[in-house]
Structures are given as C-alpha cells and as structure tokens.
Amino acid sequence: MEYTKESLGRLVAAQKEYFAGGQTLDVSFRLEMLKKLYEAVKKHEAALILALGKDLCRAPQEAYLTDIGPLLTEIGETAKGLKKWARPETHFSGFSCFPSLITKVYKMPYGTCLIISPFNFPVLLSLGVLAAAIAGGNTAVLKVSAKAPACAQAVAELVADTFPSEYVTVVKGGHEAADMLLEERFDKIFYTGSPRVAKHIMAEAAKNLTPVGLELGGETGNWCIVRKDADLKDAARKIAFMKILNAGQVCININQVAVEESVAEKFVQALAKAIRKQLGEAPENNPEYPRLISRAAYEKCAAEAETYRDRIVCGGKGNEETLRYAPTVIYSVGTDEEIVNHELFCPLLPIVPYAAEKEEQLLQTVSSREHGLALYVFTKDKAWARRVMQSLQYGGGCVNEVCLHLMVKGVPFNGTGHSGMGAYHGIWGFREFTHPSTVLWGGTHFNLSLREHPYTQKKLDFLKKVEK
C-alpha cells in the first residue's frame, strides 16, 4: 500500500475522533479488547511463527520462546491486573486544604498513540507494546518494520482481523512512512530501536511536546563481567546461548565480555566449546540458527570480523546465501578498541581481559560509557555483585544469569540515557501509556478564609500550627 501525507492524516484523524467518543475510557471495553488480542495471537500463531522463520530463519521453538510465549504472558498479566491498576487512588488532602479533604488520582489515557516497532522481535515488540496502549485506554497506530516484511504482513493481518482501523491499525513501509507519521500530532510516541533514530524521533516529537517512551540498545553496548571466582562453565554456557539468540540481534544482548585475565583463556575455551555444543562445528550452516536481517547487516558483520581476523578463536565464518554468520569469539581485545565502543547487534563477541587489581578501573570505564540497556555479572561474591548492580547506570540485568530478567512478571523493562527512557511490561506498561491526573474534591461548607486577603499575623500563626 502506498501511503501519502493525506491518507495518513485521515487515518490519525479517524483515531482521534474515535478516542473522543469515550469508548476506550471504559475498563470493561479495554479488557474485552485485550481478550480479543490474546485470542487473535493464538489464532494467528502458526502464521506468526512462519513469518518469523521467513524474516529471521527462527526455528519454531525459538520463535515461540522469544516472541509468541512472552507476548501471551504479557497480555494475560495485563488483563489480570488492569481493574486494580486503573482504579482511581484516594488520598487525604491534608488539614491545610480543609474542608476539602479528599483528593483522587485518575489514570487517564494519553489519546492516540504511535508505536514504532523494530525488526529483531517484530511480534513481541509490536503487539506487546500495543497491549500496554490498549490497557491504558488509548487508540494506536502501529508502525511495523519494513526490514521484516513477512512479520509486518502477519501483524497487519492479525490487527485488521481483530480491530477496526479507527481503534488500532498497522502502517507498513519504510522511513518515508515513519517520517510522515511523525509529522502528525500524536498524544504519545513509543519507539524501540537505535539511539540514532531515537534522536530524530524526539526532535519531531518536541515540535508538539509529545511525550515519548524509548527502548534502545545503548550506544556502546551491554557489558558482561566474569570474575575469577565465577563458575566458568556455567557462565560460558549461558553467554553462548545469549550470543546465539537471534544471531546477536537482541537489544539486551552481551556486546563484550570482560574477564579477569587469570581465567580468561580457560573461559574462552569453555565458551567456544559451549557454542559448538549448541550449534555444531559449522553454525553458519545450522538451520536452527537465525540469520542476520539483511545483506547489509551481514556484510557489516563480516567486514568487522575480518578486521580482527588474527584474533578470532571461534567462528569467523559465514554463509552468504543464507546470511548466517557464526557466533565469533575475538580474543583478546582492549577496552579502547573500536569494536567495544559501539553496539554490535550481530554475533561478534569480543573478550576483554582485565587485571584483578584494575577491576575498579574497569568499572569506571564501563560507567563512563553511554548507559547500556543491560548489565550482566558472573561471580560467587554476592556483596560485590550487589555493590556493582546498585552503583552503575544501566537498564536492567542479571547476576549469574542472562536475559531472564526480561521474563519476570510485574517488573519494569527500561533503559536510561542512550538505552532509553520510560518503562513497560505489566503495570509499568499501563503507567507508560497513562498520565496520572490529580483532582481535589472541594468542600462547600466550613470554608476558612485563611488563604484570602487581608493577610494577618493571626492567620499565618494558625497556618504554621496546621503544617506542624
């Protein structure tokens, strides 16, 4: 479908008119829509898994593990908690407001939202965010990624089969369609993707002071720290899984691993062994292993690997026909080298050895870089791990584990700085797509004249007593 500024303008206007009708304010309506979304995902499950296979060569099990399963859980959690979340809060106004003693906080929808989703998890990161927007009582325009055309079509068909376009609709197409949408006046924008594009989106949103939620990968990627007291075999197994997942095209993936130098070689050997165990000797030919999203992404990955050819200890091979590039371990790499100063978003994994006595210097280096979306540490020293996780700036993370913090119910998924702003999942998604409106219910009897002119010392003395 060819989009024009006029056609997209009509689409947004229709959603604004629908929202103005007030139907989405009803919590029962929102619950009904969440139920319809859940049933639609179940109905279209096979088509969604097939599309993930076409776009990313995802095995059906991985497609369910990373997109379909978490999406169904997200919708279910949201539907279960919505009545409680949406209930107005009641607060005591304080004696200084007498006789108006009751204040309510209403959780109000923003209105018409624009959701811009990425290619790497094109089902979860589109329909999962949509669930939060629906729970908040909004209408939504969902701009899906053109880099994953099969998934874009599958999501578009699911939405069209489930909701009227004036309530929820999908816009496909490339950057031109996205830019035309950004020219429209939305009430909320939520974007998942790169910091570079996020800056453009914020600049456009600023023209109308539109609130923005961002989930970004981080400019310099996510760090993993493996200390010498860690269970190296366990760490290697989990880190190998993380780097294999979606061929490294994961916003919370590990960008580089810092390993205490006395165990670095042992860890690298364990890591290479874990990769071979999971994918075999030729991962680039394994049909279960996902591919890079485009030829440009493949060529970028292959070119960067070639730069470090003499330090590749595992992988370093690709299949140009299928666009699969093997998980590639590069050892050793310094903290100032180019490969650890930008987000990789591919299956390359540099290993950065560090001296035990320079651990604090390493932490300062990590802290000085742009904030990552995730941080992972492997150690048996819980006190050290607690200190690190409570002092560095990052979105979320794990101790002696990878990525599973994303799967926990009731907790936020968020970033900070170059890794994002705002949060969602469960109640946090509901909060992201609503704004709290404070309303004091005024009393009409026994009103005191303390705030009115003329001001006297007696009034001031009484006010001070009330405040105490």
What radius of gyration, in Å, describes the C-alpha atoms of the chain? Answer: 25
How far separated are the first and last CA of the chain, in Å rounded?
A: 66
Classify each residue of 155-180 as buried b or exposed e, where b means 16 or more C-beta atoms within 10 Å of its C-beta. Answer: bbbbbeebbeebbbbbbbbeeebbeb
Cα–Cα distance measured from residue 166 to residue 10, given in angstroms and rounded to the nearest whole number: 10
- Which residues in 315-389 belong to E strands, given as ranges? 318-319, 324-325, 328-331, 348-354, 372-378
* Contact between residue 193 and residue 216 where contact means Cβ atoms under 8 Å apart: yes
The tokens for 404 are: 């599973």
Residue 309: how many CB atoms within 10 A of its CB? 9
What is the CA angle 45-49-55, rounded to 5? 145
* 409 Cβ contact partners less than 8 Å away, ≥ 6 residues apart: 73, 77, 426
* Contact between residue 170 and residue 156 where contact means Cβ atoms under 8 Å apart: yes
> Catalytic residues, which ones?
215, 251
Q: Which one-letter DSSP state was computed for residue 285? A: G
List residues bridging with 319 in a β-sheet.
324
